Amino acid sequence: MRSCFLSCCFLLLCQFVFPQTQTQRNAKGNQYMFCVGINNYLANVNPATCQICKDRGIKNLNGCLNDVDTISKLFIKYYGFLPENVTILRDQEASRAAILETFNKLLTKCQKGDFIVFFYSGHGSYEYESANDNQLRTGKGYRNTILSADIAKPGVPDFNSAELNKIFSGFTDKGVVLTVITDCCHSATNTRGSTIFEADSAREVKPSLEPGKFISAGAATTRMLGQSNALTIGSCQDNEIASEAQVAPKIYYGAFTINFCRSVTEWSQAPIDVLLDRTVSKLRLMNKQQTPNIEAARRRRQNLIGSAPAQIKKAFYSLKCTDCSAKQLPVITAGFTDDILNDDILVDTKTKDSIKVTNVGFTETEVMVINQSNKWKATDLTALNFTILKKLTNPDPPLKVFLGNGLSQDVYDDVVAKAKTLYQQSNPGYQWMNPSFQNFPDAVLFYSNGWKLNRDGVMETFTFSSPDATTLNNLINAAKCRSAYLQLPPPAALVEQLRAKLSVEKNRNFKVVNTPAAADYMLAGHFTNNANNIVFGWEKTILSKDANKGNGLTAVTDFFAGGNTYPVDSLAERLRRLSVLANWLSMTSPPPDKSMIFPFHLAIKNINSKQKADDQTTGKSGTEDKLDIGIEKDAGATLATDKTTPLFIYVMSIDPKGNTYLLYPQPRTSILTYPNNILSDTSFYHLATVRHTTAGIYHYVFIALREPVTNRDIFTRRGVVKGDEPELSDNPLEALLNEEGPGQRGDIKSFDHWMLKRVDIITR
């Protein structure tokens, strides 16, 4: 049984970010939770004479009771579960018969639309299938298993993955929303049969029967629970050990469970992928190499229990320090990627404790107390949850846009009518074309207090009182232009609606300016479908063959047809995506820090041509080329020997369509740290292999940080041009679905030590 002392210890260990909300029962259905935690597997047996214990290596554990007590309180606190609907079986209470009985009672009680969470903390194992086995078969010849508390008794079998799959399918068949979390060895697929497990681990409970007595089973007949609106989370892969963690003297938890609980307390309504990424980062800080596994085909955009859509952006931030005395400056777990700028003011909504941002970092930010007494009002600093009270304007946003002056409806209609007549006439020597992220016109005809023409990207303006076809053709042909773009100005109604939209959804990464000359992008329209439709989007103020150079942003975004209404939401969304790209491409490292010596550079090798692009240089490649992305040791550099403050390594790419990908590490996989696990004699440390299929500029960004990035979705965004680039070849990434760009850079005076390097590859 868990003591009050353990409860207090957990409160001190976790940094609570979301305020306690004892929410009422979910309106869509009742919420039930069933927890099994087993430390003592040898209570009623003599280990000295128990042959099963010897044969299978059964031993007692330390942290399972703490796991079930902690996670059950977590679901009550953050997801509104009622205590009377939470069932916990501890140690010898969790016999095989008792577990089955509890499942049957819950299955009878649950109705369509109810929610149930099953959590198991204990031993995991595996067993081989018999050719004559009447149970559901996995198709692999072996099954993952969990062990009941009476497993040491003769004749008591494991709960294998096929049996569990059948139990859980009973809930999903009734329309119950199921969440399964298991913290045990070999837990990746212990709720279904299909597995890639190879029995090569030594630190787990051995299988109940020798493999020689069985042969591989036939075709798989178990069901993928993730396809049935279920979420299953295993604490490790099938061939991995789930370890325990000592968090205080004589206090143990499952390494996965304690870090998963900490991630939930930081952001309870986060998308599932974000919770798992945060958990992996915390596991790596503990030097635990197990990698959790998830199946959630339909649940990735929901919260943990599937009762509501996940929050796209984190809204509250906690203090990292627990003392926060005058000698220890307070730190919040947020950075410029979380919409934080210097001098912003944040407040705790309950205590009204106020803080001011003094030093923005990448993942952490220094703050100062600004209460009238300059002292905390709260006594429990771990319970403070800060939200932004006052945002300051970004003095130097990386993106500037021009919305246009906007034409009154009668003037706009006249401009469109004249442009349509011109557009539908034949043009000897050149063709009308609309710009794309790859192709640009030689000449641009546009309207700005009269018709004007620019040729070949040069700001030489010819003004027409009316777009005379003969004069226009002569000017374009004289410059030997083969293509021209007929750009349409936006009407006043669209400009006003978009300006109102942007004023509500403030984004400090961009600024609306008054002239196109001061802007990076402008709002514009053009004809499609033989001038039968008009679409609007964002394009660079100067369109030419060099339009993709400069700040490295794509020349145009998607364009959208308005129909009966203007595409204001789509235009604002594309502008947000542009602001994220501008943020990344304008970012540079803080001033050199002697403590941040990293004697490696980002190296990119063209597998086809053998060409190489080193750090801070621009390389070239062709479409369909494969590139090896890695790091190389600097010539003559000395490797660090201090392993107390490792650097966490990330590599991302930005393709010509504006898609960003986290190349390394992949979601929920290992994180490379330096100097902990980079070999000193490695000449090229491979991180990823990519393939370019589109012409344009690819940007590769290398980041080294003292703190792990627990929001890895900031590296993965959809682009600003239709169609996702098939960037990865033999190293596929799972694209996270968060499209909004919370990154707010501002004036970075980073204290949390990080560095950034970039290599650009031009693909032709």
Confidence grade of residue 489 (pLDDT, cut at 50, 70, 90): very high
Instruction: Please determine, for residue 507, whether its predicted confidence score (pLDDT) is greater than 50.
Output: yes
Give the position of tokens 């298993």: 145
Which phi and psi angles does 40 have, rounded to 5°?
A: -100, 100
Residues sharing a CB contact under 8 Å with residue 614, sequence separation 6 or more, in sequence order: 601, 602, 603, 632, 759
- Read off the tokens for 68: 């079930």
Mean pLDDT for 360-385 is: 82
- Read off the tokens for 166: 């059948």
pLDDT tens figures, 46-87: 888 888 888 788 888 888 999 999 999 999 998 999 999 999
Domain with CATH 3.40.50.1460 in the chain: 30-295
Q: Tell me how far apart the alpha carbons of residues 76 and 681 are, in angstroms, rounded to a whole number.
A: 51
What 3-state DSSP class applies to 461?
strand
| 704, 709, 712, 718 alpha-carbon torsion, rounded to 10° | -60
What is the amino acid identity at position 196?
I
| pLDDT at res. 322 | 63
**In this predicted structure, which of 108-112, 612-616, 670-674 has the lowest mean pLDDT?**
612-616
The pLDDT > 70 percentage for the chain reads 73
**In this predicted structure, which of 213-227, 241-255, 673-687, 704-718 has the lowest mean pLDDT?**
213-227
The DSSP call for residue 135 is: S
**In this predicted structure, which of 107-111, 479-483, 570-574, 589-593 has the lowest mean pLDDT?**
589-593
Instruction: Please determine, for residue 337, whether its predicted confidence score (pLDDT) is greater than 60.
Output: yes
| pLDDT at res. 112 | 92
**In this predicted structure, which of 10-24, 164-178, 307-321, 630-644 has the lowest mean pLDDT?**
10-24
| pLDDT at res. 191 | 40
Mean pLDDT for 388-399 is: 80
CATH topology of domain 30-295: Rossmann fold (3.40.50)
| pLDDT at res. 555 | 87
Confidence grade of residue 718 (pLDDT, cut at 50, 70, 90): confident
The pLDDT > 90 percentage for the chain reads 20
Mean pLDDT for 608-623 is: 60
Instruction: Please determine, for residue 40, whether its predicted confidence score (pLDDT) is greater than 50.
Output: yes
Q: In terms of pLDDT, which residue wins out, 113 or 741?
A: 113
**In this predicted structure, which of 10-24, 163-177, 710-724, 738-752 has the lowest mean pLDDT?**
738-752
Q: C-alpha distances in angstroms, 235 versus 180, 191, 240, 686? A: 11, 12, 9, 27
What 3-state DSSP class applies to 709?
coil
| pLDDT at res. 452 | 87
Instruction: Please determine, for residue 716, whether its predicted confidence score (pLDDT) is greater than 70.
Output: yes
